Amino acid sequence: MVEQQLGIPNERLRDGFGSVEHCIPYVECKNHHFHAPVYSKILIRDLYSLKSLGYGQQGFLQFISPYITSVPANSVLMGDLAVLHPYQECGCGIKTDWFEILGRAGVSKNKSCAIAAAELLKGFA
């Protein structure tokens, strides 16, 4: 839609993902994947055991980074469901793994800003 209306190529559009608890921004690559910056590690945790999962498995998203020093938030388990993918599956040239957000965990109506915005934008496609 933006490409048609404004003439901006789709590969030049970027979305971002972040949270108050973990102040590192994750910005999409040209293929619209959220790659981990070199100063951050992404883990996917099992919903019941919290064991670390491998690529392609759905679980809780966990961010780990020594970048944050002002508060004890160098490891944050998010309420988001995600899948981790190896960088080779993207093809954009960035050589760090990337994650895919599937939605919020749980059954309550609480939503992150990103999820609420994504739901609002569904009607504009």
Tokens 């020594």 locate to 66
- Give the integer Cα–Cα distance in Å for 83 and 104: 12
Percent of residues, the chain, with pLDDT higher than 90 = 49
Q: Which amino acid is at 79?
A: G
Q: Which residues contact 13 (CB under 8 A, 6 or more apart)?
A: 2, 3, 28, 32
On whether the pTM is more than 0.85, the answer is no
Q: Which pLDDT belongs to residue 110? A: 59
SS (HEC) of 79-116? EEEEEEECHHHCCCCCCCCEEEEEEECCCCCCCCHHHH
> pLDDT, tens digit, for every residue of 17-45?
878 777 788 999 999 999 999 989 999 99
> pLDDT, tens digit, for every residue of 48-58?
999 999 999 99
Return the H-helix or E-strand segment holding 119. Answer: helix 113-121
CATH of the domain at 120: 2.30.38.10
Domain count, the chain: 1
**78-106 mean pLDDT:** 93
Range of the domain at 88: 2-124
Of 115 and 100, which is predicted with more confidence?
A: 100
pLDDT reading at 105 higher than 80: no
